[in-house]
């Protein structure tokens, strides 16, 4: 899987702050036109059902007209944050997706990413990862 950017030890304290950060990075990387519109898309998606999974992992994603091209971020948080998850765990790994409004390929991307993240070896390697390169290798 190709990621737009991998970020290590990001100092984020809340889900709200996380969503703003995700949108800002996607805007800087020219994946989205409007960071504000993308934050709205993330919040709208999150209001349907939480994108928090298990074992400290979340996959927030947004689909809106502001998305110029598909994008994916990995963010390893310095300190885990409260984020509604299936096992009530705090989240420390975030896999964020930006999806163009008229696209349906995100379902395959979400499925493939979720399947990879269910592998014990993948989660163990994430815990050991210290660098951007370490994380990129896990998903190569």
**61 flagged as catalytic:** yes
- Active-site residue, selected from the candidate residues 35, 39, 41, 61: 61
Q: Could you tell me the CA-to-CA distances from 7 to 52, 88, 111 in Å, in that order?
A: 19, 24, 22
Of 121, 120, 112, 16, residue with least CA distance to 72: 112
Counting beta carbons within 10 angstroms of the beta carbon of residue 122, is it exposed (0 to 12), middle (13 to 18) or buried (19 or more)?
Answer: middle
What SS3 class is residue 89? coil
Q: CA-CA distance, 92 to 8, in Å (whole number)?
A: 10
Residues noted as catalytic? 61
């Amino acid at each position: 899987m190709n990621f737009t950017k991998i970020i290590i030890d990001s100092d984020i304290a809340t889900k709200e702050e996380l969503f703003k950060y995700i949108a800002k990075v996607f805007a800087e990387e020219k994946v989205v036109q409007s960071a504000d519109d993308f934050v709205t898309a993330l919040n709208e998606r999150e209001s349907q059902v939480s994108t928090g999974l298990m074992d400290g992992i979340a996959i927030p994603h947004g689909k809106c007209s502001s998305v110029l091209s598909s994008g994916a971020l990995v963010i390893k948080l310095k300190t885990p944050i409260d984020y509604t998850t299936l096992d009530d765990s705090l989240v420390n790994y975030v896999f964020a997706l930006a999806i163009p409004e008229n696209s349906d390929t995100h379902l395959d991307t979400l499925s493939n990413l979720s399947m990879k993240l269910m592998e014990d070896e993948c989660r163990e390697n994430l815990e050991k990862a210290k660098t951007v390169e370490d994380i990129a290798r896990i998903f190569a």
